[in-house]
Amino acid sequence: MNVLVVGGAGYIGSHCVLQLVAAGHRPVVVDNLVFGHRSAVRSEIPFYKCDIGNTKVIGQILREESIELVMHFAAYAYVGESVNNPRKYYENNFVSTLRLLEAMLDNGVKKFVFSSTCATYGEPDTLPMLETLPLKPINPYGQTKLDVENCLKAFAQAYGLSFAAFRYFNAAGASEDGSIGEDHDPETHLIPLVIDAATGRRANIKIFGTDYDTPDGTCLRDYIHVDDLSRAHIAVFDKLEEPGSYNFYNLGTGKPSSVREIINEVEAVTGQRVHVIEDARRVGDPPALYADSSKAQKELGWEVQYTDIKDIIETAWRWHLAHPSGYED
């Protein structure tokens, strides 16, 4: 299948491109390279540098590359920034997605896979988190993702768009072959930050809150390997055959790890000590967030291959050793 991967030079998108190739599909990448890296996409993969809000250019790509399905990963994802600058997030995450959908419909492309987030749930009342929980985002980032989900449902009912929306938990790790990995600027994800602290690229790592009602007092999060995420996106293709059909899926391991556990495992994998500073809780940090992904497992035949947090960290560490400064572009 010819698949347009929007945001395909970013962290999750670039891993999905590799998995598409491995599964026998033909990916085509669109990325404006604001956060993506050109070198994260192999030279033989068709690549277009453009904004997804440019309906004329996107339409031309859809036609010339005979695109049959679109995967959408392009979004701003810094929660704090979304609070301080919501206009930027609504413009990019929602309005640009609307333009992308318009270009698809105008060119007869009606299969869509959307990168959503567990931030659509807000602070959950129960754990593990099921797809049936109330959707109550507490920041503009989560709200823009939920707004796109609602838009997709309306488009499915009105125009026959078929889609799947995946609500991610904490994507982590690097590709199995070590060729691509995680390189954000600024970096906010815990595992690469702790690796940087272990290698001396940063002086320390802060633990925000050590008095939560968790086994070791620090926050619990659900870390899922980026290749496991990617495989789920491909496993859903068969679900998109019926016009107007749609599904929502959580993607996590269901096995949360604490901040302190991540630090300990990074120390074990790297053989380096991490200087830790214990700080006060951050406003808005729930004690625990972890998924029930049984729906994806049952309906898609999807299985988590990286079930141990140490194995996930080891892939991130291999990427760091090979690319200590990240991508060079």
Q: What sections of 188-304 are H helices per DSSP? A: 190-199, 226-235, 259-270, 294-300
CA 66 to chain centre: 26
Q: Tell me the two tokens of residue 240.
A: 């998109």
What count of residues does the chain have? 329
Instruction: Give the C-alpha separation, 50 to 138, whole Å.
Output: 31
CB atoms within 10 A of CB 296: 26
Q: At what angle do helices 11-22 and 226-235 cross, to 10 degrees?
A: 60
The CA-atom distances, in angstroms, between 201 and each of 183, 298, 326 are 14, 42, 12
Q: Cα angle at 223 between 220 and 226, to 5 degrees?
A: 165
Question: DSSP assignment of 164-221, as one string?
Answer: EEEEE-EEE---TTSS-----SS---HHHHHHHHHHTSSS-EEEE-S-SSSTTSS-EE
Which contacts (CB < 8 Å, 24+ apart) does range 17-21 have? 17/41, 17/42, 17/45, 18/175, 18/177, 18/179, 18/180, 18/230, 19/227, 19/230, 19/231, 19/233, 19/234, 20/234, 21/45
H or E element in which residue 48 lies: strand 47-48
Whether 307 contacts 233, CB under 8 Å:
no
Please identify which of the residues 48, 76, 89, 141 carries the catalytic annotation.
141
Instruction: Give the C-alpha separation, 318 to 252, whole Å.
Output: 22
Active site residue 141: yes
Which residues have a catalytic role annotated?
A: 141
